[in-house]
Structure 1
């Protein structure tokens, strides 16, 4: 576009796209429409990959997971009003899991706000509970600074979601090319690099001393350590000290599940008897029983390492270390190297953990070895585990959701590499699976992604299989089809009453749903499997093809438990 004096002009759409490119954005997720279609097209023309979804909810989940997997904020682009509302699912997911993400939404013309304009909504107020910061570009000149502001905030300190609102009229405003260059340069120069807090030598010495003198020390780590890329320092700490370790579900793989000091299979013993627990990038929330008895010893001393000072203050541990997990662990390793100690395999605590783990694994393997048909959850999970393990390195990225499916998978499926497990997370969110699959495939091009989904979790966003096919992503979706939430109709006789007693149960789906045919409608590959040999064949073929596929696994509807392992809450 050129003005009368022949100088090229830049509109708001292009200025947003150029700001994103300058800030290092490589990929965006979203659903286009009024008023952001041109913005998406401009971004693509400048080299940003745009993954177009069928629903903003799944796109938001993808953006949040992309932020976790890459360490850079995932970008979600939505239309105004309802598009922004749909995107809140991803934004709140990012906030809860502490993953960096930015949602950019168009909004109605500023002059018409309050008059009932098309898709009018006070979006800044709507997003407020879920963001670290939000900004509204009320003029084109503010776009570059706001883009850099929200991207910086999303990734600094404890990561989280941020929001940028761009009214339709601002997207159509223009500035000259020279003005655009100056605005972009000023925004880049003002970029803040927030320094993480540094843990002092005295705190490092205290932490090491507590571990050194503990009788039953334990190292616990979560996805915060994974986000910090702390795996090398963490593995070194484990091997220097010989201390058993316990990962949270998405911490699995930072140190291999197959490591001799893994306490996953002896979790109850480990947390119930440890006297000092170093907790790294994991919150003492419901997933870790709030760090309280009776699950934990009432006398346990927690050393809590977290990027967030507020988290330390909330949990009130025996010793709090505020800082980047990798850097703090490097300092601890140096302190230990200067004055070594190691429990050793014959230490009573290590022996107790190892013995209990072997006993539990042996019992589990006896159950897994059985070929049960109609399928329970264990038989297909064993076959899937073996197929994934056979892929070697780089290990496939695993996505898992569903009550029974996720619970059983967490115990059976093995993670040997960092950031290779994505699941329902801190919030226990169902419906994240397809978005996570797409994010993983985009973040790690060419790497196999395997989703192990309950039929309920899959159903939230099943239409995104079309997105898998459209972008030809190497994703194999395995649906555990047991006919409903938890497994169909599990009502007691006294609950089957009233005028609608003949309706399907609230937990029931259509029996024998042909989920595999859904992907075939779009040109993908579908499989229906009911026996071990059929499942092995489908996995071998689909893993080798590295093409979008859905494997529909028929499960006995009475094989699982209501609410998985959380019956007490339902």
Structure 2
């Protein structure tokens, strides 16, 4: 009889066991020496591995998976060039603040510095692109290292983390009983996921007072609020106060674009004239013109809600509220409930926004009504919009990339549900489309995935079309590719 408790297992199996034990359900990547056995063992333990043709697209898939699920997206790569290719996805996760973990094999450490196969100091290489990186130097380190990167990826402001697994460590062996003890120890030392500080009661009161006293208040929200699942609290806030709202591109859908207080079609008026802006889960970066004139009024007062104190210090708003977007909105809604106020439809600011929205939408619809042949951007996007809306609920996930395709699509394609628009994001990354599509189909199995790709954006990663075919995802996709204006 085999003594399974004292039988020896290698480092690859220990990694797979650790990932499964700590809740990993999906992995994206490209396998090869020295991580093929690791991937096979992970699959044997119930983890679904989606094999790509290039680490770059696999990394983009892992990054958006983290955003859609709130759990770290896992990217597995080989050593050296595989790690470098994977940095595209890891850096995309870092800049967009999405939880992701990249795991790369590396050369035998006794041969490091001698020109070994695919040799690279990977810990140094990933430093600019990760919030935390660690190397397992012995098989006994593996459970703790896996727990660390998974934990750090979602703690505080989410981001990308990296785990280096040398070949010699993957080939070491250890008894299953000792692995179980190491797993228990790693579990017990996992920290609670931090959701930031809770603002002081006086700060919440000050925020509500500023909004109450504003002549032209505005709420702006972004994908940070989407990641925090803050849509319920946003809806309560907007509908109880009557304040117009403006989503950033990937914030679209937290409240429907068709909502009567949506100000997207009057964006220039809204940001140019508002006097108090509550910004939730969005950074005052290039997407919001840095919160500066001439796009914004020089006298606007920003109330900035962010998960980290560092972002508040960087932007220097009139009032900073450090905390999880959903939790902060809960506190604001409670304060308003105790002393309610509502602008009402006849408020001059609400009327001005509403009139501008109606005028701009009317002009846009007049253009959309024309069937232009050969196609311009508007005709195919209108067709796509109508098809998406006809799908009803659950609304499809829309993946949009390519400069003109994405920019015009942002104005035409309507989002009605949260986390259903995925685009180039904060870093303006090209080539994300097909990786995002595949990850969205995995993370949101109840939704159709629609890819609206510019011809150039599509060619960045066109070969990955084969992945959804080989993964039997064809029933998940409706795709329109190659939209261009010639």
Same fold, judged at TM 0.5 (above): yes
Matched, 1:415 2:452: no
Runs of 4+ in structure 1 deviating by more than 3 angstroms, as ranges, are none
Q: Does residue 14 of the first structure (1) align with residue 13 of the second (2)?
A: yes
Secondary structure at the aligned position of 2:234 is classed as helix
Aligned residues: 483
Distance 1:481 1:242 in 2: 38
Q: Is the partner of 1:399 in helix, strand or coil?
A: strand
Deviation at residue 481 of structure 1 after TM alignment: 4.2
- Aligned counterpart, 2:30: 31
> Is this contact kept in 1: 2:456–2:482, CA < 8 A?
no
Q: Give the CA deviation at 1:107.
A: 0.1
Matches within 5 A, 1:16-415: 16-195=15-194, 196-415=196-415
Shift of 1:273: 0.2
Deviations 1:381-428 (A, max 9, x none): 001000000000000000000011001100000000000000000011
CA distance in 2, matches of 1:178, 1:150: 23
How far, CA to CA, are the matches of 1:364 and 1:78 in structure 2?
Answer: 46
Partner of 1:441: 441
Q: CA, structure 1 residues 2+428, in 2 after alignment: closer, same or farther (shift >3 Å)?
A: farther
Q: Return the alpha-carbon distance in structure 1 between the equivalents of residues 89 and 374 of structure 2.
A: 37
Q: Which has the higher contact order (CA 8 A, sep 6+)?
A: 2
CA displacement, residues 61-92 of structure 1 (integer Å, 9 cap, x when unaligned): 00000000000000000000000000000000
Residue of structure 2 equivalent to 1:478: 480
Q: CA deviation at 1:200?
A: 1.1
- Measure, in 2, the Cα distance between the counterparts of 1:223 and 1:253: 10
Superposed displacement of residue 58, structure 1: 0.2
Deviations 1:466-502 (A, max 9, x none): 00100121122211343xxxxxxxxxxxxxxxxxxxx
- Flag structure 1 segments of 5+ consecutive residues without an equivalent: 483-555, 558-570
Q: Which moved more, 1:194-203 or 1:284-293?
A: 194-203
Q: Secondary structure at the match of 1:243?
A: coil
- Whether the 8 Å contact between 1:2 and 1:9 is mirrored in structure 2 is no
Whole-angstrom CA distance in 1 between matches of 2:444 and 2:426: 23
Taking only aligned residues, the RMSD between alpha carbons, in angstroms, comes to 1.2
How far is 1:6 from its partner? Answer: 8.4
Superposed CA deviations along residues 94-137 of structure 1, whole A, max 9, x for unmatched, are: 00000000000000001000011110000000000011100000
Contact 2:5 2:176 (C-alpha < 8 Å) held by counterparts: no
Partners of 1:256 and 1:415 within 8 A in 2: yes
Q: Residue 446 of structure 1: CA displacement?
A: 4.0
- What per-residue deviation string (whole Å, max 9, x for no partner) do you get for residues 515-556 of structure 1? xxxxxxxxxxxxxxxxxxxxxxxxxxxxxxxxxxxxxxxxx5
Normalised by the length of structure 2, the TM-score is 0.98
The corresponding residue for 1:463 is 463
